[in-house]
Amino acid sequence: MNNSELAQILIRAVEEADSSDRLLDAVQELAAAGTEEAVPTLIAALGYNNPGAAVAAVDGLIVIGEVAVPPLLQLIDDYNYGARAWAIRALAGIGDVRALDTLLEAAKTDFSLSVRRAAARGLGTLRWHQVAPEKLESIQTQVLEALLLISQDPEWVVRYAVVTSLETLAIAIVVTLPDQASRITNQLQQILDTDVDLGVRTRVKFAQEKIQQQQHHEVFAPKRKLQDTEIEVPHRGGGRR
């Protein structure tokens, strides 16, 4: 039996499931297969009013990755809010830049804190290599502005997600937007000084340490490389003459 045949069997099992438990089991097995053929059925499972099956479907779509993005983006316009919310979670997990506008809107305006959290986290896991070089600075600036705004969200879980994304963005823009890095470090310090939630403040400290480590590496790595080169040069010509 090849992968395509197995996928069809698993898809039928989802379609023929006659109870919540069987549906959950069938979606989990289909998600674990990780095949492209599973995408439409996994997306359909997002709207089945079965949270367990939806979680499994989201996990499967994230594993499948980029090929699931176009149909997920189409689902965003669906009137089924539950399915839309799960789709945003899947898009955030995949990190494809084609979902940028959707993630920005969800992180800023969605009424569900779990959706805002997922979208905010997704802004920190975008795959920057997918962006054309001439657009990279503009898009990273757009994400930065959004994260600075969302850092004022009233829900601590959303602010926590923002901190994780500010950390990854700070590391990503070391080369592309070095002049903007101070805005991130300043915002993190402000959160540390003012946020009422201990978990958020603790996460800020971790982010600050990671960013400082990266900055240290960027400053001293070229110097170490130069020193290593200078040490090796005298040996290339043999002994002293």
Contact between 103 and 134 (Cβ < 8 Å): no
Q: DSSP letter string over 89-133? A: HHHHHH--GGGHHHHHHHHHH-S-HHHHHHHHHHHTS--GGGS-H
pLDDT at 219: 55
Cα-based distances in Å from 151 to 110, 190, 192: 15, 10, 12
With tokens 């039996």, the residue in question is 1
pLDDT at 78: 62
pLDDT at 30: 95
pLDDT at 66: 95
pLDDT at 2: 74
Distance CA 203, CA 77 (A): 34
- pLDDT tens for the 241 residues of the chain, in order: 677 888 899 999 999 999 999 999 999 999 999 999 999 999 999 999 899 999 999 999 999 999 999 999 988 866 678 888 999 999 999 999 999 999 999 999 999 999 999 999 999 999 999 999 999 999 999 999 999 999 999 999 999 999 999 999 999 998 888 889 899 999 999 999 999 999 999 999 999 999 998 876 665 554 444 455 443 434 444 444 4
Cα dihedral: 116, 117, 123, 126 (round 10): -120
Contacts 24+ apart (CB under 8 A), 144-147: 144/169, 144/173, 144/177, 144/180, 144/183, 144/184, 146/104, 146/107, 146/108, 147/120, 147/123
pLDDT at 3: 75
Beta carbons within 8 Å of 25's beta carbon, 6+ residues apart? 17
CA dihedral for 46, 52, 58, 61, sign (positive or negative): negative
